[in-house]
Amino acid sequence: MRRSVTILGATGSVGRSTREVIAENPERLAVAGVVSGRDAAGLARVARETGARFAAIADEAQASELRDALAGSGIRHGAGRMAVLEAVSLESDIVVSAISGAAGLEATFAALMPGRVVALANKESLVCAGAAVMARAASVGARILPLDSEHNALFQVLGAEPVSAIRSMTLTASGGPFRTWSAQQIAAATPEQALAHPNYAMGAKITIDSASMMNKGLELIEARFLFGLGADQVDVLIHPQQIVHGLVNFRDGSVSAGMAVPDMRVAAAHCLGIDGRLDAPAGRFLDLAACGPLVFERPDLARFPALGLAIAALAEGGAAPAVLNAANEVAVAAFLARRIPFWAIPALVEAVCAQGGGQGRPAPEDVAAALAIDQDARNRTRLLLSEGRFTVT
């Protein structure tokens, strides 16, 4: 059976990995539609290369650029929010949700249709509205498969075991470029240093989140909803080799590990080959003898306070994770624009969370409520930024 795939975030790192897996398996997989946020030229190139039927760019200002780049191709295209939702509504078996940030929430929610598989790499969908997204999937008969390497490893390890068999789940983290740096060095890190991830080539925002370890905090929140766990049933270990991606600790004392080379194509192949595993090229198989010693460490929350903030938001629940995520997105953008130093990312997020935007507010029941919380937190973050307390001195 040849399955059709729509790729949301087709020009990003996860989109690239997904496209490579599809290209390796042309008899099993085909591209139906592709979506990008702002890269019209890249999107047009991807649409032509994959033979997509439809291409959508979220940025309406790039409508003419996309039109010109696709001239003569016969590929339908559109720009703006409605075009993205049109791409989501295309008839396809699998939707890969890899739009970065809270911007992917609406499209992910819309992708949940009866019988659909949604391969989820947009962790913010579950961070901002985890209960609502999972409830929607269950009610319509859609299936969510985790495309993040850590969650995919946990999903595969868990297999058919019930949630009641789990004592806890452990996600691993590389530690990013600052794993061995002092707190003072981390505080003064430049964007170039923070973007130098030791294992993965990813987009700028997620790479900065990896450097601050906020990314791992967001993944803890994601795991809590994906697997139906309590806030105290998920934790993190630093594992710089990134060979073990996740561990499931069972009630009887046994521990099972999900292992693979650090390559997003492994998780993508699992999600796309859900009806029967795909064959990977020789270079994608794990050779443990060649890996050397595997190291595991406890995270240092004093040096990486962003992870502590995410753990606190996870424990608080309600609207707190959505507030945390929105504040972090604004703070990271400010850091990349050199408006604030690296230390100010968690400091700014903490200040927004402390204002009470999440405290006592219930978790959003739908996309509209989640987006309202997100916008309010962004506005408050920008207001704090405008006061100058967190700017570079």
pLDDT value for 198: 79
CB 205 within 8 A of CB 104: no
The whole-number pLDDT of residue 129 equals 95
* Alpha helices in the chain, H assignment, sequence order: 13-24, 40-50, 63-69, 81-89, 105-111, 124-140, 149-158, 183-187, 191-194, 204-212, 214-226, 264-272, 305-316, 320-336, 344-354, 367-386
Predicted TM-score of the model (pTM): 0.94
CA nearest neighbour of 35 among 84, 71, 73, 69: 84
- Whether 11 and 76 map to the same domain: the answer is yes
Over residues 236-276, the pLDDT tens digits come to: 999 999 999 999 999 999 999 999 999 999 999 999 998 89
What pLDDT sits at residue 359? 62
Whether residue 322 sits in one domain with residue 179: yes
- Residue 248 covered by a domain: no
Q: Which CATH number covers residue 382?
A: 1.10.1740.10
Q: What is the pLDDT of residue 357?
A: 58
Which range of residues forms the domain containing residue 336?
163-242+297-386
Shared domain for 117 and 175, answered yes or no, is no
Same-domain status, 201 and 92 = no
In the chain, which residues have pLDDT < 70? 356-359, 392-393
In a domain, 281, yes or no: no
Q: Which residues of 136-174 are buried (b: 16+ CB within 10 A; e: fewer)?
A: bbeeeebebbbbbbbbbbbbbbbeeeeeeebebbbbbbb
Is 102 found in the same domain as 211?
no
pLDDT for 358 equals 56
Task: Report if residue 278 sits inside a domain.
Answer: no
